[in-house]
Amino acid sequence: MLGRVGDTTDKARTRIVRRATELFRAEGFGAVGVDRISDLAPVSKRTLYQRFPTKDDLIAEYVRTIGDTNYDSMQDAVDDDAPPAERILQAFIWLQNQTTPSGYRGCPIVNAVAELPDATHPARQLALDHKDQVLGFFRDQAASAGAADPDELAEQLIMLFDGASSYSLVRDSRIPPSFLAAAKTLINAQLPPDSQPLK
């Protein structure tokens, strides 16, 4: 039967999204045509358009998927039993490892927003949702760690986080150790005086 809404066993759909993810991630939306995705899926173009009526629908699904995948991957790198400040650092180390040693193409969510000037594009909201999810994680950990202003610290951390992505993208090199040092400095500046600072 043709893939219905909520069908989690639609193999064609899965293959389409997987290939689209690889190609969009590496080259962006404009540079990747629908034909190339369907050829590599492999699936006929007709089937692709059966699952995704327009390319923009596929782009939106890509943004949703890569956001969820990245968040899950990051969470997998975080030890739930570690102290909250350590958990933040583990997330930072995860990002650093994503950029090893070269070939990193920048944050796919940020890149998507950059390539979609139309603020009403459905993918734009999904991109924001993802960043809010990451921001929420930082905020929750900051609060648990006893940060003086968890919202402020979370904003600072996500700016540092995404800036490190840009750094790696432009230089095509691994995020440097100064990245983790900066995270520690920002966190320590907000920890209560009686707590053990990160070092």
Q: Which residues bind a copy of itself (CB under 8 A)?
A: 26-31, 105-107, 109-111, 113-115, 117, 119, 127-128, 131, 151-153, 155-156, 158-167, 169-172, 176, 178-179, 181-182, 185-186, 189
Instruction: Considering the complex, state which of residue 34 and residue 93 has its C-beta at the smaller distance from DNA.
Output: 34
Residue 26 near DNA by CB under 7 A: no
Residue 63 near DNA by CB under 7 A: no
Residue of the chain from 22, 56, 129, 155 that contacts DNA (CB under 7 A): 56
Alpha-carbon distance of 161 to 92, in angstroms, equals 7
Q: Is 119 exposed, middle or buried (0-12, 13-18, 19+ CB in 10 A)?
A: exposed
Residue 54 near DNA by CB under 7 A: yes
Check residue 3 and report its DSSP letter: P
Collapsing DSSP to helix, strand or coil, 77 comes out as coil
Alpha-carbon distance of 18 to 12, in angstroms, equals 10
Q: Is 127 exposed, middle or buried (0-12, 13-18, 19+ CB in 10 A)?
A: buried
Instruction: Compute the least distance from the CB of residue 192 to a copy of itself, in Å.
Output: 16
Residue 18 near DNA by CB under 7 A: no
47 interface partner picked from DNA, a copy of itself, none, CB below 5 to 8 A per type: DNA
- The token pair at 62 is 């890509």
* Identity at 74, one-letter amino acid code: M
Residue 55 near DNA by CB under 7 A: yes
